[in-house]
Amino acid sequence: MKASPPTVDVAIIGGGPAGLMAAEMLSDQGLDVHIYDAMPSLGRKFLMAGKSGLNLTHNEDFQEFMGRFGAAQERLESSLTAFGPKDIQGWAHDLGIKTFVGTTGRIFPKDFKAAPLLRAWLRRLRQKGVIIHVRHKWSGWADDALRFSTPDGETTVTARATILGLGGGSWPKLGSDGSWVVALQGKGIDLAPLRPANCGFDVDWSEHIKNKFAGEPLKGVQLNFRGHKARGDVVVSMDGLESGPIYNLSAPLRDAIEADGKAVMYIDLSPEKTTDQLSKALEQPRGKKSMATHLKNKTKISGVKAALLHEVLDKEVFTNPLLLAASIKALPMTVVRPRPLSEAISSAGGVKLDELDDTFMLNALPGVFCAGEMLDWEAPTGGYLLSACFATGRVAGQGVIALLKS
């Protein structure tokens, strides 16, 4: 007779922030909680987020904070109200991690590192009895049991409740490869396609830009696209444009490209000066000086910024100070496609929110909950991504408690 698969109270599939926060909620309830992850260790994308300083959340007016979540803000509001930025700070402090608010409102651990927080978190979960299974890649269901591929072959587990925290489709080498889409579609769950978010965009550069300026930063510029603005340093890559400000505009740029085949944004190369100031400076006689020297002396535009002006503008514009000044303030830049999903910081799309009840349990699969980035929401960088992963994982954990205790 074939042996029945082992039964656990709760199977949490995915050891990222959402899954770990769900385990946090469940671990004090006397339940048998197991975390399964495909990778050799947990929290790999979380650790990657800490490479440039772990941005846990953001300190700003709550309504402004909620506005960062776009169309999903109504469904996420109760979760983020219950576990918002101040709660995240308090939770980190309980783990022995002190935090601070940066000049831009972003909240970081004092040492900027993710590893100490993750170690403390996993240590506490293990002390509370949570059992962790690594190298267990979930591949769907076998009848009512969960099916996993492991180094020792396929295994199955039956769970009274399941929480899926499998991430989106970005950074697949860290574990969130979007392979769960097939399993959920097979159960009739309605999903929005996974798309890149917080990503760079391709520009059809000339060979001159690629060969001479790839890797150069456009310092202190402002990007403008259909009323959306972002300011900071933008990096010119071999393929197009990367880094913070471009990531902040990625959702409207991506949507415009999907609708129209391309998107034209405008780069203000000199945000600290007005068009009139630039025009008057450029009107001054340049004598025998080259246009490059004149631009540098009068407007501080040189290097890659000057190269982009020549890349985009007709030669005649450089003979007209007013037109040149206007172009410096609003240089049209056509982006033709987002970078691939595998390169994106995060992904949009996933399980549609109307497929879930208020505890993020799937309406079509009672006892199966979803949390984190695999849900159909997106947000810019700045601590918003982690905030929503923490909050939705917490609510899913509470939902399991209510289900199993009823």
Pairing of strands 7-13, 153-164: parallel
> pTM of whole model > 0.95?
no
| pLDDT (average), residues 172-197 | 95
CATH class assigned to 7-197+345-405:
alpha beta
In the chain, CATH 3.50.50.60 covers 7-197+345-405
| pLDDT (average), residues 81-92 | 97
| pLDDT (average), residues 48-71 | 92
pLDDT at position 101 over 70: yes
Q: Distance (Å, rounded) from C-alpha 109 to C-alpha 78?
A: 25
Could you give the percent of the chain with pLDDT greater than 70?
99
Tell me which of 393 and 28 has the higher pLDDT.
Answer: 393
pLDDT, tens digit (0-9, with 9 covering 90-100), for 233-280: 999 999 999 998 999 999 999 999 999 999 999 999 999 999 999 999
Q: What is the pLDDT, as a whole number, of residue 28?
A: 87
pLDDT, tens digit (0-9, with 9 covering 90-100), for 269-280: 999 999 999 999
pLDDT at position 377 over 70: yes
CB distance 16 to 369 below 8 Å: no
| pLDDT (average), residues 80-96 | 97
pLDDT, tens digit (0-9, with 9 covering 90-100), for 326-359: 999 999 999 999 999 999 999 999 999 999 999 9
Contacts of 189 (CB under 8 A, 6+ apart): 351, 355, 362, 364, 365
Contacts of 307 (CB under 8 A, 6+ apart): 208, 209, 212, 213
Q: Distance (Å, rounded) from C-alpha 12 to C-alpha 396?
A: 10
Report the amino acid identity of residue 375.
L
- 50: exposed, middle or buried (Cβ count in 10 Å: 0-12, 13-18, 19+): buried
Q: What is the pLDDT, as a whole number, of residue 188?
A: 96
Which of 76-85, 208-217, 284-293 has the lowest average pLDDT?
284-293
Q: How confident is the model at residue 232 (pLDDT cuts 50, 70, 90)?
A: very high
pLDDT at position 1 over 80: no
Q: Distance (Å, rounded) from C-alpha 337 to C-alpha 258?
A: 9
Could you give the percent of the chain with pLDDT greater than 90?
92
pLDDT at position 30 over 60: yes
Write the CA distances from 218 to 221, 227, 228, 339, 370, integer angstroms: 6, 21, 19, 19, 40
| pLDDT (average), residues 93-97 | 96
Q: Distance (Å, rounded) from C-alpha 116 to C-alpha 106?
A: 19
CB distance 99 to 113 below 8 Å: no
Q: What is the pLDDT, as a whole number, of residue 3?
A: 60
CA R_g for the chain: 25
Which of 28-37, 47-56, 302-311 has the lowest average pLDDT?
47-56
